[in-house]
Structure 1
Amino acid sequence: MRRSTLYLLMATHVFLASGTYVFAKAAAVGFPNAETLTLARALGAGLILLLLTGWLIPRPRFGMKDWLKMLGFGILLVPLNQYSFLRGLRHTVPSHPALFYALTPLGVLLLAGGLRQEMPPKRKVLGVLLALVGVCIVLRPWEAGETITELRIGDLWVLCAVLAWVVYTVLVGRTCQNHDPRVVTAWSLILGAVAMTPLGGYSLLTMDYGSIPLAAWVGLAWMVVLTSVVMMLVWNVLLSYLGPVEVAICTNAQPPTTAVLSALMAAVGLLSGEQDLGLLFWLGMITILTGVVLVQINDHS
Structure 2
Amino acid sequence: MNRRTLAIMAALGATAIYGVNHTIAKGVMPGHIQPMGFVLLRVIGATILFWAISFLAPRERIEKKDWGRVLVCAICGMVINMLAFFSGLELSTPINSSVLVTTTPIIVVLLSAFLIQEKIYKLRALGIGIGLVGALILVLYGGELRQDAPNIPLGNLLFLLNATFYGLYLILVKKLIGKYHPFTLLKWLFLIAIFINLPFGWSQFIAVEWTTLPWDAIWKLGFVVLGTTFCTYLFNAFALTQLKASTVSAFVYVQPLIGILYAVASGKDQLTLLKVLAACLVLLGVYLASKRPKPGL
Q: TM-score range by the shorter chain?
A: 0.7 to 0.9
Question: Which residue of structure 2 aligns with residue 291 of structure 1?
Answer: 285
Q: 1:282 corresponds to which residue?
A: 276
Deviation at 1:34, TM superposition (A): 1.6
- The farther-off stretch of 88-97 and 163-172 is 163-172
Once superposed, what is the RMSD of the aligned Cα atoms? Answer: 2.9
1:168 aligned residue? 169
Cα separation, 2, equivalents of 1:166 and 1:145: 28
Contact preservation (8 Å) 2:182, 2:234: no
Please state whether the residue corresponding to 1:96 is helix, strand or coil: helix
Q: Deviations over 1:208-229 (max 9, x none)?
A: 3245444333222111111222
**How many Å apart are 1:235 and its aligned residue?**
3.2
Structure 2 match to 1:73: 73
* Equivalent AA in structure 2 for residue 136 of structure 1: L
SS in 2 for 1:100: helix
**1:255 partner letter:** P
Cα-to-partner distance string for 1:252-300 (whole Å, 9 max, x where unaligned): 111111101110001xxxx3xxx24111111211111111111222269
Alignment of 1:189-208 (within 5 A): 189-208=190-209
Residue identity matched to 1:92: S
CA contact (8 A) 1:128 1:291 kept: yes
SS of corresponding position for 2:158? helix
The residue number in structure 1 matching 2:115 is: 115
Does the 8 Å contact 1:30/1:213 carry over to 2? no
Q: 1:299 to 1:208 in 2, by over 3 A?
A: farther
Q: CA deviation at 1:49?
A: 0.7
Structure 1 residue 163: Cα displacement:
1.6
Query: How far, CA to CA, are the matches of 1:180 and 1:151 in structure 2?
Result: 40
Amino acid in the other structure paired with 1:199 = F
SS at match of 1:166: helix
Check 1:290–1:232 CA distance in 2 against 1; reply closer, same or farther (3 A cut).
Answer: same
Count how many residue pairs are aligned between Structure 1 and Structure 2: 292
Distance 1:184 1:97 in 2: 28
Could you say if the C-alpha distance between residues 115 and 276 of structure 1 is closer, same or farther in structure 2, counting changes exceeding 3 Å? same
- For 2:83 and 2:17, the matched residues in 1 are separated by 20
Task: Write the deviation string for residues 99-150 of structure 1: whole angstroms up to 9, x where unpaired.
Answer: 22211111111112123456511111001001011112222x2576654872
TM normalised by structure 1 equals 0.84
Using a 3 Å threshold, how does the CA distance of structure 1 residues 182 and 5 change in structure 2: closer, same or farther? Answer: closer
Alpha-carbon deviation of 1:8? Answer: 6.2
Moved more, 203-212 or 192-201: 203-212
Could you tell which deviates more after superposition, 237-246 or 118-127?
237-246
The residue correspondences of 1:228-239 to structure 2 (distance < 5 A) are 228-239=229-240
DSSP 3-state at the match of 1:129:
helix
Q: Mean Cα displacement is larger for which, 31-40 or 283-292? A: 31-40
- Return the offset for 1:50: 0.6
- Where 2:30 maps in the other structure, the secondary structure is helix
User: Is 2:61 aligned against 1:61?
Assistant: yes
Taking only the aligned residue pairs, the percentage that are identical comes to 23
Give me the whole-angstrom Cα distance separating, in 2, the residues matched to 1:163 and 1:80.
10
Deviation at 1:79, TM superposition (A): 2.6
Query: Does the 8 Å CA contact 2:102/2:283 hold for their aligned counterparts?
Result: yes
CA distance in 2, matches of 1:87, 1:257: 21
Conserved? CA contact 2:73–2:169, under 8 Å = yes
CA distance in 2, matches of 1:104, 1:249: 8
Asked if 1 retains the 8 angstrom alpha-carbon contact of 2:50 and 2:183, the reply is no
Q: Is the 8 A contact 2:92 2:155 kept in 1?
A: yes
Q: Secondary structure at the match of 1:82?
A: helix
Summarize the alignment of residues 12-51 of structure 1 with structure 2, pairs less than 5 Å apart: 12-51=13-52
Q: Distance in 1 between matches of 2:10 and 2:168?
A: 27
- For residues 18 and 179 of structure 1, the distance between their equivalents in structure 2, rounded to whole angstroms, comes to 28
Partner SS for 1:103: helix
Conserved? CA contact 1:27–1:218, under 8 Å: no
Query: Aligned equivalents of 1:59 and 1:70: distance in 2?
Result: 18
Letter in 2 for 1:70: V
